[in-house]
């Protein structure tokens, strides 16, 4: 390994290679579920340097773990404990390569933090709509590698829908120059879509061209109290009817989620009294503020008349709107503070969600009395974070060791029976690799393995993740 590390240092310089010392920030995942040991951390500053690193890894047969902001939730971005895997951090590749206002697109390097990409679009008078609670740390490359979703998918789609072109370094160190601002390009297999969502197992994304949108003229945000999940689903139907495309966010939080936030983060004001389900909804309109206001008023009137909303709080200014979103986005942090838990990032047809939750809540309460179900998510997209925490009397680590397998089986079986997915937006990583192998359509799985073999014949790109 000395020859390999010497060659890396010669190419990247001291700033580009960390060996020894405290590498914990690169070796432990955000949830503190996976702690590994890296051979070293390479921090290339350009696409050419990424290509040189991957060529050396290919020649010396060194496995590589690409890493962006290390906010991933499925254990895909940190090394295993062999001490043989090289972490390839994109943290020095932060250049905004350009904004094309007329084409409504932006090109940025993979290590750009998502919040900085949003700010660059804003500075050009446009909107980059991808938005998630980790946006102050996660990177554009990580967002694409995991096909991130977030809070605006309902209106703008996920990372895949927002991407026009990619620049990628292959496992053997070649550069694929696929950056393009084209919205139409039927020239064969869609390589861009192959790398999006591939979780670092096929190559390293070094830059991307992304779509931009007009900045909404008006944004209206409200919290609504619903007595049941059926009521929340009825409200979603009304919101679609009244607002159409102006509906940009529709999130739900169960009572236990907000009670957990109240316990862990008591400084956050909760405008509504405790209730079974709270909906956070957002309408925005790029064309006219009057249209958004009209739709909002019509929606609230219809919801009250239908009886699917008991109470509502409407944000009176931007600061209040941000506080409402902050409440929703603080749930993962409150969960992390409360200790290890079992996460299920699932997708279901919206019509099946309420039945799933009723069945699962009852099943799990009978399986382990006192269990906490922290259930929240992007109801508008059929995406729930159906997370399970230990009863107060059971230490979280013990709970995980004894119950993770059986609980996953119960939840994923119920998801499968309803035609859902075991990963809506977080990906597979290490956490769900076995579940994927057991549950994915066998032909689909075989095709995925064939693609992996063709693009990474030596099996060096993020090994043992995804496939």
List interacting residues with ligand FAD (CB under 6 A).
30, 65-73, 76-77, 90, 110, 132-134, 138-139, 141-143, 145-146, 148-150, 199-200, 204-205, 332-333, 425-426, 429, 462, 465
Check if the beta carbon of residue 362 is closer than 8 Å to that of residue 407: no
Task: Count Cβ atoms within 10 A of the Cβ of residue 18 and give its class: 0-12 exposed, 13-18 middle, 19 or more buried.
Answer: middle
The least distance separating ligand FAD from the CB of residue 303, rounded to whole angstroms, comes to: 25
Phi, psi for residue 216 in degrees, rounded to 5:
-60, 140
- Closest to ligand FAD by CB, 113 vs 233, is 113
Q: Which of 228, 327, 325 is nearest to 282 (CA)?
A: 325
Q: How far is the CB of 4 from ligand FAD (least distance, A)?
A: 20
Complex with ligand FAD: residue 263 or 306, whichever CB lies closer: 263
Nearer to ligand FAD, 289 or 350 (CB): 350
Alpha-carbon dihedral 37, 333, 418, 369, rounded to 10 degrees:
100
Nearer to ligand FAD, 398 or 464 (CB): 464
Whose Cβ is closer to ligand FAD: residue 85's or residue 285's? 85
CB atoms within 10 A of CB 22: 8
- The residues, any chain, with a CB within 8 Å of residue 395's CB and separated by 6 or more, are none
- DSSP β-ladder status, 126-127 and 105-109: unpaired
135 vs 231, beta carbon nearer ligand FAD: 135
Q: How big is the CA angle at 329 (ends 324 and 330), to the nearest 5 degrees? A: 100
Q: Give least dist CB 299 to ligand FAD, A.
A: 24
**Cβ at position 242, least distance to ligand FAD in Å:** 25
* C-alpha–C-alpha distance, residues 85 and 26, integer Å: 12
Largest CA distance in the chain: 74
Q: Which is nearer to ligand FAD, 71 or 278 (CB)?
A: 71
Nearer Cβ to ligand FAD (36/150): 150
Residue 272: count other Cβ atoms within 10 Å of its Cβ: 15
CB of 10 to ligand FAD, least distance (A): 24
Q: Which two tokens stand for residue 19?
A: 């060996």
- List alpha helices for 210-349, DSSP H: 229-243, 255-264, 289-306, 318-329, 331-338
Residue 241 beta carbon to ligand FAD: minimum distance, rounded to whole angstroms: 26
CB of 76 to ligand FAD, least distance (A): 3
> How does DSSP classify residue 345?
E
Q: Which residue is nearest to ligand FAD (CB)?
A: 142
Q: What 3-state class would DSSP assign to 50?
A: helix
The β-bridge relationship of strands 213-214 and 247-254 is: unpaired
User: In the complex with ligand FAD, which residue's Cβ is closer, 132 or 347?
Assistant: 132
Between 312 and 333, CB nearer to ligand FAD: 333
Phi, psi of 121, rounded to the nearest 5 degrees:
-65, -45
Please report how close the Cβ of residue 141 comes to ligand FAD at its closest, in angstroms.
3
Give the nearest distance from C-beta 279 to ligand FAD in angstroms. 16
- CA nearest 46: which of 19, 79, 13, 5? 13
- 311 token code pair: 């109470």
Shortest distance, CB of residue 298 to ligand FAD, whole angstroms?
29
**How many angstroms separate the CA atoms of 348 and 424, rounded?**
9
76 vs 173 by CB, closer to ligand FAD: 76
CA dihedral 119, 120, 126, 129 (to 10 degrees): -60
CB of 261 to ligand FAD, least distance (A): 13
Count CB atoms within 10 A of the CB of residue 315: 20
Nearer to ligand FAD, 150 or 216 (CB): 150
Beta bridge partners of 139: 113
Contact (Cβ atoms closer than 8 angstroms) between residue 232 and residue 226: yes
> What is the phi/psi pair of residue 317, to 5°?
-155, 175
The minimum distance between CB 335 and ligand FAD, in angstroms, equals: 9
């Amino acid at each position: 390994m000395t020859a390999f590390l010497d060659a890396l240092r010669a190419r990247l310089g001291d700033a580009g290679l960390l060996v020894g010392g405290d590498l914990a920030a690169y070796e432990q995942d955000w949830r503190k579920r996976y702690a590994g040991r890296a051979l070293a951390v390479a921090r290339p500053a350009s696409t050419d340097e990424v290509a040189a690193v991957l060529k050396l890894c290919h020649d010396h047969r060194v496995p590589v773990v690409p890493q962006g902001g290390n906010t991933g939730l499925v254990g895909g971005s940190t090394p295993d404990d062999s001490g043989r895997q090289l972490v390839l951090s994109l943290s020095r590749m932060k250049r905004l390569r350009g904004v094309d206002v007329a084409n409504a697109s932006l090109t940025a390097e993979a290590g750009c933090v998502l919040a900085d990409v949003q700010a660059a679009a804003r500075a050009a008078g446009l909107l980059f709509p991808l938005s998630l609670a980790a946006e102050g740390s996660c990177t554009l490359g990580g967002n694409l590698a995991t096909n991130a979703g977030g809070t605006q998918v309902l209106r703008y789609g996920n990372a895949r829908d927002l991407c026009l072109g990619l620049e990628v370094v292959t496992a053997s160190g070649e550069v694929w120059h696929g950056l393009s601002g084209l919205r139409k390009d039927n020239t064969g297999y869609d390589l861009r879509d192959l790398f999006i969502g591939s979780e670092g197992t096929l190559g390293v994304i070094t830059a991307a061209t992304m779509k931009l949108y007009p900045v909404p003229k008006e944004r209206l945000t409200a919290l609504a109290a619903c007595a049941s999940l059926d009521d929340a689903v009825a409200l979603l139907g009304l919101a679609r009817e009244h607002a159409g495309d102006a509906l940009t966010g529709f999130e739900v939080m169960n009572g236990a989620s907000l009670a957990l936030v109240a316990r862990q983060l008591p400084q956050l004001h909760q405008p509504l009294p405790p209730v079974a389900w709270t909906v956070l909804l957002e309408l925005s309109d790029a064309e006219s503020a009057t249209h958004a206001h009209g739709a909002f008023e019509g929606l609230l009137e219809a919801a009250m008349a239908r009886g699917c909303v008991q109470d509502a709080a409407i944000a009176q200014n931007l600061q209040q709107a941000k506080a409402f979103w902050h409440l929703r986005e603080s749930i993962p942090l409150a969960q992390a503070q409360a200790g290890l838990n079992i996460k299920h990032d699932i997708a279901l047809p919206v019509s099946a969600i309420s039945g799933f939750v009723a069945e699962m809540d009852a099943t799990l309460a009978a399986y382990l009395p006192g269990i906490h179900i922290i259930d929240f998510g992007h109801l508008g997209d059929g995406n729930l974070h159906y997370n399970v925490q230990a009863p107060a009397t059971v230490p979280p680590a013990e709970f995980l060791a004894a119950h993770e397998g059986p609980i996953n089986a119960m939840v994923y079986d119920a998801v499968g029976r309803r035609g859902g997915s075991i990963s809506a937006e977080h990906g597979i990583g290490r956490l769900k690799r076995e579940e994927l192998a057991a549950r994915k359509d066998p032909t689909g799985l075989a095709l995925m393995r064939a693609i992996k073999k063709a693009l990474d014949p030596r099996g060096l790109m993020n090994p043992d993740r995804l496939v």
